[in-house]
Amino acid sequence: MAVKPTVIGLAGNPNCGKTSLFNYITGSRQHVGNYPGVTVEKKEGTVLVDDMQVTVIDLPGTYSLSPYSLDEKIARQEILSEQISAIIVVVDSTHLERNLYLFSQIIETGKPVVLALNMFDELDASGNILNVEQLSVILGVPCVKTVGNRGKGVPELISTALKVSRNEIEAIGNHPVYSHEMEHAIDAVIALIHGTVPYNERWCAVNLLQFGRSFSPYQANHSIAPDVHKEIDKIRDRLESLEGRKIQNIITAGRYGYATGAVTECMKAKVHTHRTITEKIDSVLTHRWLGFPLFLSALWIMFQTTFTLGAIPMEWIEAFFEKLVFIVTKILPGGLFQSLIVDGIIAGVGGVLVFLPNILILFFFITFFEDTGYMARSAFIMDRIMHSFGLHGKSFLPMLVGFGCTVPAVMATRTIENRRDRLITMFIVPFMSCGARLPVYILLAGAFFSPKNAGNIIFSLYLVGITISFLVAWILSFVKDSSASFVMELPPYRIPTLRSILLHIWERAFMYIRKAGTIILSFSIIIWVLMTFPQAPQKAETDTLPINSIPPISHTYAAQFGKFIEPALKPLGFDWRMGVALIAGFAAKEVIVSTLATIYKVGDVDDQTIESNLKNALRNDPLLNPVKAYALMLFILIYVPCIAVLGVIKREAGGWKWIVLMVVYTTTLAWLVSFSFIKIASFIS
Ligand code: GDP
Ligand code: MG
C-alpha cells in the first residue's frame, strides 16, 4: 500500500465545537474562540492513529455550502478536494435539527462522512434523549458521541473516521430526497452533464439547478457549456412553474424536511416548562435598554482592571530590569558597547516587556467574553446601533477582535458576504485600539495623568476609536448599497474551561515575548544605531547636561530624518523626536515605547527604573503636557496600522492601492483629529 497520508476534514456550523475537537485530536495549540475568523485560516494537524499518519483539517464554520460567502466557498472547496478522503461533520447535539441542514448538503457531495454528535453533555443535561443507533441508520453514516471541550469520544471519532476513509465502514450516507418534480429535474440535469463533471453528479445537478451560472465548482478547464446552462435554465423554469415556488424554497424545504424528519424520529424531547438558563441570562444581558449600558460597563471594567491590576506585576518586572542595568553597567566598561546594551537593548526590549501583565489581563477578558458566549451577544446588542451607521451587527465581531490584534480582525471580516461591507469593516477595524497600542497609552497616560484618572483616559481613547470608526462607516455608507440581512446566532452561555483561557493567555504571552525578542529587539538596535551615529564632533561637555537636553543626538541620522518630517508635526506641537517615534511605530506600535526610551536615554540613570525614568523624562520635556500627551495618544490611535496589518489588508482586499489608501487616509485623519483637539483644548482653557 502506498504511504499516502490520510486527510480528514472537520466541518460544521460555527460554535459547534469543531476547534475544540480539533485541538483534542491533534493536540495542537490553537485558540478556542467564538467569534468568526479564527478558523478561517486553514488549520492542520497530524496524528498517529493505529500506526497511520492522519492529517486533520479544521474547516471554516458555516451554515451551508452556498457559493456566496468566502468561508462557505473555502469549506466547499476543501470538502470536494481529492486529497480529503473523509469528512467529520460536527454538530451541536442540542441544536441537532438546525445543524443537520449543513450535514444534508455535505452528504450530497458523496464524500464518506462521520457524524460527531458534539455537546452531548449538554444534550444529556437538557433531559432530551437521542437514539444514536437509530440516527446512524437513518442517516446512513456512523455517529459518535463527543464532548469537545473535554476530549470525550475523540479516540473513537478519529478511529471511525480512519475506517471510513479506508472504506472499511459504509458511510456514503442517505442524501435528502426532494419533491417528486424536483427529483425529475435532478435526473434531467444529470442526463445533461453525465460524464462531464469531476464531482458527484447528483450534487452538481442540485447546485446547477439552485445557483445556475454562479455555481462553478470546476477547475478552469472544466466548465459547463453555455447551451447546457440554457437547458438547465429551462428545466428550472418548468420546475418552478410546476411547483409554484422558487427553486431556493424547493431545495431548502427538502433539506429542512430531511433534518426535521431525522430528529423527530430519533429524539425524545423532554417537555420544557420553564425558560432555560441562557434565556434567563439573555433577558438581562441583551435587554433592549439594559444591554448597551451593561456592555459598556463590561468594557470599562476590562480596561480599568487591565490598568490597575497590571500595575502590580509591572513593578516586579521593572525591578528586574533595574537590576540588570545595574549589573551590566558594573560589568561592561562605559562607552558605545555599554550604551548599545543599556540604552538600546535593555531600554527597548525592557520597556516593552514591562507591559506583559497588562496584555495578559486584557486577553484574559477577551477570551473570557468569547468563551462564555458574551462576545456573540455584543454583536447582537450592537446590531441596532450598527444599522444606523449603515453597517451590520456582523461587522462588530471583527471590531471586537480588533481590541486584541488588528491582523485577525481583518481576517475575521471574511464572514461578511457583501464585499463593500467587508471593505468598509476592514477600513474601520484599525481604529479599535489593539493590544500593542496599550503600552503606549499606559506610558503616556501614566506620565501625564494621576493614577486615578489614567484608566479613564485610556478608556476614553478606546471610545474615541469606536466613535471614529462609526463616523467613518457612516460617511462611507453613502457610497455603498444597503447591507444584506442575516440571522444572528446566539450560542448558549457556557462556563469557559480554565484550559481554554490559560491556553489562550499563554499563547499571547508567548507571542508578545517572541515579538519583544525579535521585532522589538532588532528595531531597538537599528534605532539605537540611527540615534547614535554619526556622533557629534565634540562630546566632552555633554555629560553634565540634563537627560532631556538634545545636543548629542541632534547630529544623528534619526534626528536628520525626524527634522525632515518635523514641519508636518510642528502644528501639532511635536518635534522631530516624536517624528522618529511615530515612524518607528510603523513596525509595531510597541516600538514607540522603546524608541522613546532610547531617545530619552533612560537606561543611563541608574537610581530609578526604566519605566519611571521614562515617565519623568517625558514629564520634564517642555514640549509635552497633558493636552499634548492626549493629542499624541490620539495620533497614535488613528495613524497607520502596523506593517503586519497592511500586509493582511493587501491580501484580503486585494492590491496595493488599498494599502496606499489606508496609509494616506489614516495619517491624514490622525493629523486632523490631533490638531483639532489641541485647538479646541487651547480654546477652552
Ligand atoms: P467552533 O466555532 O466550532 O470551532 O467551536 P469551538 O471549538 O470554538 O467551541 C465553542 C465553545 O463551545 C467553546 O466555549 C467550547 O469550550 C465549547 N464546547 C465545545 N465542545 C463542547 C462540548 O462538547 N460540550 C460543551 N458543554 N461545550 C463545548
Ligand atoms: Mg473554531
Length of the chain: 685
pLDDT at 272: 59
- Over the stretch 387-401, which tens digit does the pLDDT of each residue have? 778 777 778 878 887
Residues 6 or more apart whose CB falls under 8 angstroms from that of 5 comprise: 46, 53, 54, 55
Phi, psi of 343 (to 5 degrees): -80, -30
pLDDT-wise least confident of 88-92, 173-177, 344-348: 344-348
pLDDT at 547: 43
What is the distance in A from the centroid of ligand 2 to the CA of 362?
Answer: 21
Which position has the grid cell 453613502? 478
SS3 label, residue 48: strand
pLDDT at 73: 79
pLDDT band at 220 (very low <50, low <70, confident <90, very high): very low
Share of the chain above pLDDT 90, in %: 29
pLDDT band at 349 (very low <50, low <70, confident <90, very high): confident
Cell reading at 370: 468569547
The residue whose C-alpha atom lies closest to atom 12 belonging to ligand 1 is 17
pLDDT at 38: 39
pLDDT at 131: 93
Judged by its nearest atom, the ligand closest to the C-alpha of residue 154 is 1
Give the span between the Cα atoms of 431 and 238, in whole angstroms.
Answer: 52
What is the distance in A from the centroid of ligand 1 to the CA of 543?
Answer: 61
Handedness of CA 98, 101, 103, 104 (dihedral sign): positive
What is the distance in A from the centroid of ligand 1 to the CA of 498?
Answer: 13
What is the distance in A from the centroid of ligand 2 to the CA of 446?
Answer: 38
Phi, psi of 86 (to 5 degrees): -155, 150
pLDDT at 436: 86
Give the span between the Cα atoms of 192 and 231, in whole angstroms.
Answer: 8
149 lines ligand 1 (CB under 6 A): yes
Which position has the grid cell 448538503? 105
Domains defined for the chain, CATH in brackets: 6-165 (3.40.50.300), 180-268 (1.10.287.1770), 293-480+496-684 (no CATH)
Region 174-197: what's the mean pLDDT? 90
What is the distance in A from the centroid of ligand 1 to the CA of 80?
Answer: 26
Greater confidence (551 vs 67) lies with 67
Share of the chain above pLDDT 70, in %: 89
Q: Is the pLDDT of residue 519 over 80?
A: no
Judged by its nearest atom, the ligand closest to the C-alpha of residue 41 is 2
pLDDT-wise least confident of 67-71, 131-135, 330-334, 407-411: 67-71
Greater confidence (187 vs 278) lies with 187
pLDDT at 36: 42
pLDDT-wise least confident of 22-26, 487-491, 548-552, 668-672: 548-552
Give the span between the Cα atoms of 306 and 371, in whole angstroms.
Answer: 19
Most ligand 1 atoms within 8 A of CB, residue of 494, 497, 501 to mutate: 494
Q: Are 117 and 132 in contact (CB under 8 A)?
A: yes
Q: Which of 72-86, 455-469, 478-492, 649-663 has the highest mean pLDDT?
A: 455-469
566 lines ligand 1 (CB under 6 A): no
Helix (H) or strand (E) holding 164: helix 154-165
The residue whose C-alpha atom lies closest to atom 28 belonging to ligand 1 is 149
The residue whose C-alpha atom lies closest to atom 25 belonging to ligand 1 is 119
Q: Are 429 and 409 in contact (CB under 8 A)?
A: yes
Q: Are 539 and 555 in contact (CB under 8 A)?
A: no
What is the distance in A from the centroid of ligand 1 to the CA of 383?
Answer: 24
Region 357-371: what's the mean pLDDT? 83
pLDDT at 119: 95
Most ligand 1 atoms within 8 A of CB, residue of 10, 13, 18, 20 to mutate: 20
What is the distance in A from the centroid of ligand 2 to the CA of 507?
Answer: 16
91 lines ligand 1 (CB under 6 A): no
Q: Is the pLDDT of residue 179 over 70?
A: yes
14 lines ligand 1 (CB under 6 A): yes
In order, the DSSP letters of 280-334 are HHHHHHT-TTTHHHHHHHHHHHHHHHHHHHHHHHHHHHHHHHHHHHHHHHHHSPS
604 lines ligand 1 (CB under 6 A): no
pLDDT at 655: 81
Region 628-650: what's the mean pLDDT? 90
Give the span between the Cα atoms of 212 and 232, in whole angstroms.
Answer: 8
3-state helix, strand, coil in the chain (%, to 5): 65, 5, 30
Judged by its nearest atom, the ligand closest to the C-alpha of residue 20 is 1
Give the span between the Cα atoms of 285 and 294, in whole angstroms.
Answer: 7
Residue 665 CA, chain-centre distance (Å), reads 23
Region 257-266: what's the mean pLDDT? 85
What is the distance in A from the centroid of ligand 2 to the CA of 105?
Answer: 20
Question: How many beta carbons lie within 10 A of that of residue 274, not counting itself?
Answer: 6
Most ligand 1 atoms within 8 A of CB, residue of 13, 22, 25, 32 to mutate: 32
Region 660-667: what's the mean pLDDT? 93
433 lines ligand 1 (CB under 6 A): no
Judged by its nearest atom, the ligand closest to the C-alpha of residue 11 is 1
Greater confidence (234 vs 649) lies with 234
SS3 label, residue 52: strand
Judged by its nearest atom, the ligand closest to the C-alpha of residue 489 is 1
| Strand ranges across the sheet with 113-118 | 43-49, 52-58, 6-12, 84-92, 113-118, 143-145
- Over the stretch 48-66, which tens digit does the pLDDT of each residue have? 887 888 889 889 888 888 7
Q: How does strand 143-145 pair with strand 129-130?
A: unpaired
Most ligand 1 atoms within 8 A of CB, residue of 35, 149, 152 to mutate: 149
- Over the stretch 94-115, which tens digit does the pLDDT of each residue have? 999 889 999 999 999 999 999 9
What is the distance in A from the centroid of ligand 2 to the CA of 109?
Answer: 23
Strand pairing partners for 52? 49
Q: Which of 55-64, 180-189, 378-387, 412-421 has the highest mean pLDDT?
A: 180-189
Q: Is the pLDDT of residue 218 over 70?
A: no
pLDDT band at 14 (very low <50, low <70, confident <90, very high): confident
pLDDT band at 484 (very low <50, low <70, confident <90, very high): very low
pLDDT at 31: 47
Give the span between the Cα atoms of 640 and 636, in whole angstroms.
Answer: 8
Average pLDDT score over the chain: 83
Give the span between the Cα atoms of 141 and 115, in whole angstroms.
Answer: 7
pLDDT at 267: 86
Cell reading at 648: 493582511
Rounded alpha-carbon distances, angstroms, from residue 76 to 10, 72, 259, 676: 12, 6, 20, 50
430 lines ligand 1 (CB under 6 A): no
What is the distance in A from the centroid of ligand 2 to the CA of 12?
Answer: 9
Give the span between the Cα atoms of 520 and 547, in whole angstroms.
Answer: 23
- Over the stretch 431-458, which tens digit does the pLDDT of each residue have? 999 888 999 999 999 999 998 899 899 9
Q: Is the pLDDT of residue 680 over 60?
A: yes
Greater confidence (426 vs 2) lies with 426
Region 213-229: what's the mean pLDDT? 72
165 lines ligand 1 (CB under 6 A): no
What is the identity of the amino acid at 10?
A: L
Q: Is the pLDDT of residue 369 over 90?
A: no
Region 204-218: what's the mean pLDDT? 82
373 lines ligand 1 (CB under 6 A): no
